[in-house]
């Protein structure tokens, strides 16, 4: 862009941009209404599915185990994650200005990616829990104490908000003098850096390095944990035990692949030449579609979780009798 070629001196770094324009998905007014209806349904189903899991874990004593507690926290995290972007996207479908203030844009950026980092951490925590339960079953009650799983849950919620301060602050302090149009439906760091008046290669390098270390590190931790789990499952003498363990692992790995697969492609190398349309589609996939699929993949295939959630949410039965 022409503005990026400007020679910005140290005294000219004051931002003249007070707001950004999120283009979203440019189309006719009729298509905008169709998008609004479609994503409203997706958002509602996402909230209902994840809220059902949270309520089931909260209300049923049988689910007060580390595995389900982590799952309940992960589902609550999904609700927060999808809420940082979808309501604003829905509002923009009905808006003609599609503007977002500078502060709100970077607030969305911060919370969206902080929650995203927390999701990666919770996937690691859940993989670690399954590793202990399957590979160290005799030591599991002694290791996975209430203090440990509470501490892990607190760490999973807080770490993303701490570590993602650095890239947000660096990108927010880049000089923005116009244009202010972001060809995206979310305040994404890649188009934001492209709008800067000066090309700060150091900020891009720090951002890419941060993403590479965090995302690849968490992804490899999950894969290594489940590799050890699979080896332990294969050694089980019971065929029924193998089926149950593989069913749990398959659900977890499906979510891991859905989440990390698209994120790794997009954010490890922001300057890798992805088309704008592809960036939108991939971002839409991991920010909207994956949170919708997670309740189905993770828990609603589990008979106990499914029937418990339905019973508690709809008030069909209030007892705690076993299925």
Cα 59 to Cα 101, 177, 302, 305: the distances in Å are: 40, 52, 17, 12
> Model pTM?
0.85
* Domains delineated in the chain: 20-314 (1.20.1070.10)
| Regions of the chain short of the pLDDT cut 70 | 1-15, 248, 265-274, 298-323
169-226 residue pLDDT tens: 999 999 998 788 998 899 988 888 888 888 778 888 888 888 788 888 898 899 899 8
The pLDDT score that the predictor gives to residue 187 is 92
The pLDDT score that the predictor gives to residue 273 is 53
Q: Which two tokens stand for residue 135?
A: 């590979």
Give the helix, strand, coil percentages of the chain, each rounded to 5: 70, 5, 25
The pLDDT score that the predictor gives to residue 315 is 58
CA distance 12 to 306: 58
- At 169, is the secondary structure helix, strand, or coil? helix
- 202: burial class by Cβ within 10 Å (0-12, 13-18, 19+)? exposed
């Amino acid at each position: 862009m022409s503005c990026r070629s400007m020679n910005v001196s140290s005294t000219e770094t004051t931002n003249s941009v007070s707001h950004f324009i999120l283009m979203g998905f440019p189309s006719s007014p009729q298509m905008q209404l169709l998008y609004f209806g479609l994503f409203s349904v997706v958002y509602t189903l996402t909230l209902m599915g994840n809220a059902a899991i949270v309520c089931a874990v909260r209300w049923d004593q049988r689910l007060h185990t580390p595995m389900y507690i982590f799952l309940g926290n992960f589902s609550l995290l999904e609700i927060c994650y999808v809420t940082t972007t979808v309501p604003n996207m829905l509002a923009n479908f009905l808006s003609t200005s599609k503007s977002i203030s500078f502060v709100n844009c970077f607030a969305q950026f911060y919370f969206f990616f902080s929650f995203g980092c927390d999701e990666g951490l919770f996937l690691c925590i859940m993989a670690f829990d399954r590793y202990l339960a399957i590979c160290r079953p005799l030591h599991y009650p002694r290791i996975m104490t209430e203090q440990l799983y509470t501490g892990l849950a607190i760490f999973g919620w807080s770490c993303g908000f701490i570590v993602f301060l650095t890239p947000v602050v660096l990108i927010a302090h880049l000089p923005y003098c116009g244009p202010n149009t972001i060809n995206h439906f979310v305040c994404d760091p890649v188009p934001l850096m492209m709008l800067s008046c000066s090309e700060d290669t150091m900020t891009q390098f720090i951002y890419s390095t941060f993403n590479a270390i965090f995302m690849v590190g968490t992804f490899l931790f999950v894969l290594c944990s489940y590799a050890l789990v699979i080896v332990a499952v294969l050694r089980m003498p019971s065929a029924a035990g193998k089926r149950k363990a593989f069913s749990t692992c398959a659900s977890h790995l499906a979510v891991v692949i859905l989440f990390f697969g698209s994120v790794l492609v997009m954010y490890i190398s922001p300057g890798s030449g992805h088309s704008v349309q592809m960036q939108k589609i991939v971002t839409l996939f991991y920010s909207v579609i994956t949170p919708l699929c997670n309740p189905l993949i993770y828990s609603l295939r589990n008979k106990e979780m499914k029937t418990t959630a339905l019973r508690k949410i709809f008030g069909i039965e209030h007892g705690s009798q076993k299925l």
